[in-house]
Structure 1
Amino acid sequence: MRFLLIEDHAQLAQTVAERLALDGHAVDHAATLSDARDYLAVTAYDLILLDIMLPDGDGRDFLADHREGRSGDTPVIVMTARSDVADRIALLDTGADDYVTKPFDTMELEARIRAVLRRRAGQSRPVIRHGDLTFDVLSATLSIAGIEAPCELRNREMRLLEILLSAPDRIHPKAQLTDRLFSAADDVSENAIEVYVARLRRKLEDSSVRIETVRGVGYRLA
């Protein structure tokens, strides 16, 4: 998944970005609202992490404008130092999907991210089933019916499989997959997707589910 992190505190932003990268997420960091708008103008994100007090404006105003814009359905988790109930209610009413109160533990943030993404995908549990596959997002394990030992997935393998399983009948263009798996700071080509697809295919050898190449377009599950 690709996230936009809007946070002006450099050390906190680095900590959050590095932690999420360990989970296989690509994170673009914007230190100002202006930078965030530039990112949103050219990139589609799976989630936005939004600080409230920023050098060039109030994150609440940004949130309200975001909900009116073309990418307004992107889920938003607000990171705020405000702990009053009225403030939290106002954030949710403005359009936040969830919030964490600073200082927060990154494990709590990760859990809230998973919960928000599951709700957006219409899943109540962090387990996805398709054909003879059972994919547990929390443990990053892939089980195949009839095979005793589950497969362990590495971070980007896990995120790639999650994307494919989220819409198994859809063709996922290579450029779109690259955009969702890597941040703007990553120097990669679309050929990188072929590497992760090849790794997943090896782990699906005993499954009836296959990653099909649609020549010149991308990939889909078959």
Structure 2
Amino acid sequence: MEVTYIWINPVVEQMYEEYVLDQFLKRHGLERVRCRTDWGRIVKEKYIRLITEGGETVMDARCPMACGLVKEWAEDKSSCENSGPLKVNEQMEGYSMKIADIEPILIHCAREICSRQELKDGRKIITTPCQALADMGNSLKLYNTRFFSWNSFLETLGERPEGNVPEFSPIPPGFFRELGQRTMSLTGRESIEQCVQDGSWQRVRLVEMLYCRDGCHNGDGVVTDEA
């Protein structure tokens, strides 16, 4: 019988008591796996190198929804100016910005789980705090690996463990606060749109962007009916 391994994202992990979650997964024949590598540290180091080596303002790429807003703005700006396609890494009024070509931490974690030799014969499930990250993960077509938002995964099981969405996000704004560079932290669609439209991004070296206000615990993949 094929083993099904499951990786639980940090938001979901904080929604339940460890015993409750472990028993729930065991009841459904799921074997929980964890990463061996500190991908959060590695991703942060990648951003440090990026802002050190280049002169552009770097836009955080950990949140697909936030990146989508920046790309939409660039396309709208190009259309209004009738100057041909505008890429987010082109010069604008003496400044330039670019979305980091760095995958989200969750994707790094999934790639590790997918590549581990001792897990190669089992099916892998990667849970996400939002549908956007699940769609991004599934688009990679990693071998024998499926991404589900936590809510959609629970729907497939037809059961929910007892838990609550955490009041404070385990993925809060401030990930880049200690980089020693000028940074800006934004959460929520409105603040991201205002930043790119009013040019305030030009004052910093790196713009952190989370589409969900106050952090990923407000993602559409983890909000429960009770919350």
Structure with bigger RCO (C-alpha 8 Å, 6+ apart): 2
What's the TM-score, normalizing by structure 1? Answer: 0.25
Structure richer in strand, relative to its length: 1
What's the TM-score, normalizing by structure 2? Answer: 0.24
